[in-house]
Structure 1
Amino acid sequence: MSRIIVISNRVSAGGGNQGGLAVALSAALRQRGGVWFGWSGERTDSFTGDINFQRRDGVTTATVDLEDQDIDEYYNGYANRTLWPLFHYRIDLAEYERDFAGGYQRANERFADTVRPLIEPSDLIWVQDYHMFPLGAELRQRGVTNRIGFFLHIPWPPRRLLNTLPEATTLVASLLAYDVIGFQSREWLESFADYARDELGGEIEDDVLRWNGRAVRLLDCPIGIDAKAFVEMTATPRARLTWRQMRDSADGREMIVGVDRLDYSKGLEERFLGYERYLLQRPEQRKEVFLLQIAPPSRADVTSYQRIRNTLEGLAGRINGALADIDWVPIRYVNQGYPRDVLAGVYRASRIGLVTPLRDGMNLVAKEYVAAQNPEDPGVLILSRFTGAAEQMPDALLVNPHSAEEVADAIHQALSMQRDERIRRWRALMDGVETYDVMWWSDRFTSALADVVQSNVENA
């Protein structure tokens, strides 16, 4: 069995509270052997390419430090101020700077130079996410003939939006150096195929894209969670303690929970407005329910993230100031993160999981919420129809997060739902979460990569 080389922007540090992606990639590495390579998250005065090797829980990691200029232009710049907003349909926030694009390319060249000596002839190479679109092409230029796959964890935007990126054609062409390209949903795959066909002249049949003599497999491969482990986590002492604390804190009221990184793509402002609409339409329910929004900050160096934090703090304050009473606050807004076992207890204690991004590649919070529920008395998932998860989870209450009325109506429907319907919906959702778990995702992608015809690299 071939080794696997996983390459991503950041490398998991291991430990018992890893997220779903880290669990799947670590399992694949333990099964096949290999190395997980990426940025350490640390800064250096001068890039040397020196690699820090570590081994933990049977997984070998290899990390490098980056210079301040690389971090500012590659990570804070092109990845998170250009690609992230554009790929989440926010061209109004995308910043197109040549320095950003140059730094992004330079960092990927440095990654390619550094990881190249670690690659053995029979290795499978699996590159992760939008930080590393050109890495496959850079490895090909350095003589790598291995099977190389790429998985995109975020949405792929429609062709007309992507064309606002000055170097869009070059960027997409570089992706065609990969042998397999995976997407979270069929919608994102079709958006990519549309661009490759109409802008590059590629030919597509049976999800194989042919261009310049190469055949690239396009794969819709939605990621899941480690469902069994997450269910078991709800029974751990800390999860059970958290459940009791939340139920005591609720004091007989129903809890709605949202857990999202603080990001404009998550639809938090629209979520607050939809919840406010529910309270205004049904004043008799005001003291019967509350919203707990957990939103740990991220990318604090990026101006747009500073703005969304200020906006949400102001909005939460306005709603609480207008509607709260001496014994009740409608929104509990918390700007910090919590371990996954604590979140498991929070999810289990809540009547509604409110997952309403404006656009999301997948959204694993939706799946974790389902996995955390009590099978005999489950809560209700309200889910944005603009997430990749919506394709897999039609038994959730699907909403348009831009519509405060739809969100308010869904909250009312969820709170009014009888137990038999809640159980029926939950059982259908849980079947999908268990069947299409994170190991199914990893096995599906690596199997597709292993099946690639090796002669494909002759035209790389």
Structure 2
Amino acid sequence: MSRLVVVSNRVTLPGSQSAGGMAVALNAALQRNNGLWMGWSEKVKAEEEPSTLTEKEVGGITYALIDLSQKDLEDYYYGFANQILWPIFHNRADLAKYSEARESAYYRVNEMFADQLEQVLRQDDVIWVHDYHLIPLAEKLQQRGHKNRIGFFLHTPWPPADILSTLPNYNRLLRGLSCYDLVGFHTENDRNNFAECLRRQEWGELNGEDCRAYGNEFRCGVFPISIDTAEVARLAERDDDLPDSYCRFAGYDIAIGVDRLDYSKGIDNRIDAFNRFLRSNKHRRRKTLLLQITPKSRDKIPAYQAVEKAVAELVGRVDGELGSVGWVPVHYINQSLGQPELARLYRRARVGLVTPLRDGMNLVAKEYVAAQNPRDPGVLVLSRFAGAAGELGEAILVNPYDPEGMASAIETALDMTRDERIKRWSAMMERLREHDVYRWCDDFLSKLNAAPQGLTASLDPASPVAG
């Protein structure tokens, strides 16, 4: 039986507070296939120290952890990955801060990952690489003579060709992806964008799932990531009370937003829309509030610092102008909450506001639906530009660039009859039960097993996750 090797920028150990549905599904697949998960240890080594792997085994899974230097973090992670690729992949080329040094660091760290992976790689291992940090990894392994079956999944959107081409040497990314046996995207739109990028390259083409570019033949597929639907529903049903500090929300109609502090999430647009909603619906004041949970992220990056400042100022202005003694319209929380607490808050919220300007999928939308009370569900208001909109069409779909339209959607959601809410929720929940994160994992690995390139290595066919 072949071993599954997962490679990602970060590793999520079992029991970690940050372990979401994807980590749970990957750990299940790794356990069934004698797996190894490799990624950054989140430790910073001295510049002169050599790169080494530290291995630890937990629950039948081997975790191979690699330290990065501060320069690696600054240039590869904060630099190229998150100040160049992230904004470009989210259609914000204006925020991309390109430099040759950052690009060089990106490929240097991928070389280092390949060097370390090579030390533990077996000939029949099946490799699954995750996300934009490690696009060149297959090419680096190929250059070392490895022919393992290898797949890649992109957790962000893929940009239109005109946006991608603002990146100097963007063809290096395309060539890197052509070295995988299977490349997975969230949506058909992402795959179509990728196909257009290939068509603009000499000899590049995509016909159905079959791709040809840079002398390589590979496959592209659409695999919408999902959540552990049953677990989110179970957590939301728990009888234990929320902390006493949440008692102040009792009796209010709650609209909830949960996002990392990121310019792609459209948090300021959402608060503006909620402000307009309250101004147009005075009878809703002192009865309705927005609970915006926004943990900080990447706060070393200037664009994120600007978003933090703008959102904090907007919250202060709205609360100062509309708030009163005993009622604050926007409750703004800059910290992470655990999944059990979030699930119960989702269940208490009448409206789920998931309105990113651009998002690969957005699992908050799916978690909100899964957490609802079947007899009295809330209403999801969802951006058309989130990948989840392709699966959750019964939500109220909105344009996040239109604050008046979003304000009207909030009013519609609060006025919606119970029968209509149940009808919409039931359709979405049925889809989420059928297509949960385990199904996502199974579908990708099954397709990777069937990929025509590489060795004949494949995962155990009797494994529920391997397909």
Letter in 2 for 1:207: E
> Distance between the aligned counterparts of 1:285 and 1:117, measured in 2?
62
Give the match for residue 32 of structure 1: 33
Name the SS for the 1:242 alignment partner.
Answer: coil
> Distance between the aligned counterparts of 1:16 and 1:128, measured in 2?
19
- Residues 443-454 of structure 1: matches in 2 within 5 Å? 443-454=442-453
Shift of 1:41: 1.1
Tell me if the contact between 1:47 and 1:66 (Cα under 8 Å) persists in the aligned partners. no
Letter in 1 for 2:309: N
> Distance between the aligned counterparts of 2:249 and 2:20, measured in 1?
28
Letter in 1 for 2:197: Y
Give the match for residue 250 of structure 2: 251
Give the match for residue 293 of structure 1: 292
Letter in 2 for 1:381: L
Tell me if the contact between 2:175 and 2:214 (Cα under 8 Å) persists in the aligned partners. no
Tell me if the contact between 1:4 and 1:123 (Cα under 8 Å) persists in the aligned partners. yes
Name the SS for the 2:292 alignment partner.
Answer: strand
Give the match for residue 137 of structure 1: 139
Give the match for residue 325 of structure 2: 326
Shift of 1:273: 0.6
> Distance between the aligned counterparts of 1:333 and 1:110, measured in 2?
40
> Distance between the aligned counterparts of 2:401 and 2:93, measured in 1?
17
2:228 to 223, 226, 242: 226
Give the match for residue 169 of structure 1: 171
Tell me if the contact between 1:159 and 1:195 (Cα under 8 Å) persists in the aligned partners. yes
> Distance between the aligned counterparts of 1:72 and 1:127, measured in 2?
22
Are residue 8 (structure 1) and residue 3 (structure 2) matched?
no
> Distance between the aligned counterparts of 2:327 and 2:214, measured in 1?
64
Give the match for residue 111 of structure 2: 109
Give the match for residue 426 of structure 2: 427
Give the match for residue 206 of structure 1: 208
Give the match for residue 49 of structure 1: 51
- Residues 43-442 of structure 1: matches in 2 within 5 Å? 43-45=44-46, 46-236=48-238, 240-242=240-242, 246=246, 248-442=247-441
> Distance between the aligned counterparts of 1:331 and 1:143, measured in 2?
56
Shift of 1:456: 8.2
> Distance between the aligned counterparts of 1:47 and 1:169, measured in 2?
33
Letter in 2 for 1:13: L
Tell me if the contact between 1:243 and 1:345 (Cα under 8 Å) persists in the aligned partners. no
Deviation sequence 1:235-272 (CA, Å, 0-9, x none): 345xx3129874x4223210010010110000001001
> Distance between the aligned counterparts of 1:316 and 1:122, measured in 2?
54
Q: 1:423 to 1:305 in 2, by over 3 A?
A: same
Q: 1:266 to 1:8 in 2, by over 3 A?
A: same
Name the SS for the 2:380 alignment partner.
Answer: strand
Tell me if the contact between 1:385 and 1:398 (Cα under 8 Å) persists in the aligned partners. yes
Shift of 1:68: 1.0
Structure 2: runs of 5 or more not aligned: 457-467
Name the SS for the 1:112 alignment partner.
Answer: helix
> Distance between the aligned counterparts of 1:100 and 1:378, measured in 2?
47
Tell me if the contact between 1:215 and 1:456 (Cα under 8 Å) persists in the aligned partners. no
Deviation sequence 1:102-145 (CA, Å, 0-9, x none): 11010000000001121111111000000011111001011110
Tell me if the contact between 1:261 and 1:297 (Cα under 8 Å) persists in the aligned partners. yes
Shift of 1:61: 0.7
> Distance between the aligned counterparts of 1:218 and 1:158, measured in 2?
16
Deviation sequence 1:22-78 (CA, Å, 0-9, x none): 111111101111200011111000342221112223322110101111111000100
Tell me if the contact between 2:359 and 2:387 (Cα under 8 Å) persists in the aligned partners. yes
Count of aligned positions? 454
Q: 1:16 to 1:378 in 2, by over 3 A?
A: farther
Q: 1:326 to 1:196 in 2, by over 3 A?
A: same
Name the SS for the 1:241 alignment partner.
Answer: coil
> Distance between the aligned counterparts of 1:203 and 1:130, measured in 2?
21
> Distance between the aligned counterparts of 2:49 and 2:206, measured in 1?
41
Deviation sequence 1:154-211 (CA, Å, 0-9, x none): 0000000111000101221111000100001110011001101123431221221022
Letter in 2 for 1:20: G
Structure with greater helix percent: 1
Tell me if the contact between 1:148 and 1:180 (Cα under 8 Å) persists in the aligned partners. yes
Query: Percentage identity across aligned positions?
Result: 44
Name the SS for the 1:52 alignment partner.
Answer: strand
Letter in 2 for 1:87: F
Are residue 21 (structure 1) and residue 19 (structure 2) matched?
no
Shift of 1:19: 0.4
Range that drifts further, 346-355 or 13-22: 13-22
Please give the root-mean-square deviation of Cα atoms over the aligned residues, in Å. 1.5
Structure 1: runs of 5 or more not aligned: none
Name the SS for the 1:154 alignment partner.
Answer: coil
Name the SS for the 2:55 alignment partner.
Answer: strand
Q: 1:245 to 1:395 in 2, by over 3 A?
A: farther
> Distance between the aligned counterparts of 1:454 and 1:167, measured in 2?
26
Give the match for residue 461 of structure 2: none
Q: 1:389 to 1:243 in 2, by over 3 A?
A: farther
Name the SS for the 2:206 alignment partner.
Answer: strand
> Distance between the aligned counterparts of 1:106 and 1:271, measured in 2?
39
> Distance between the aligned counterparts of 1:47 and 1:452, measured in 2?
39
> Distance between the aligned counterparts of 1:111 and 1:426, measured in 2?
44
Letter in 2 for 1:427: S
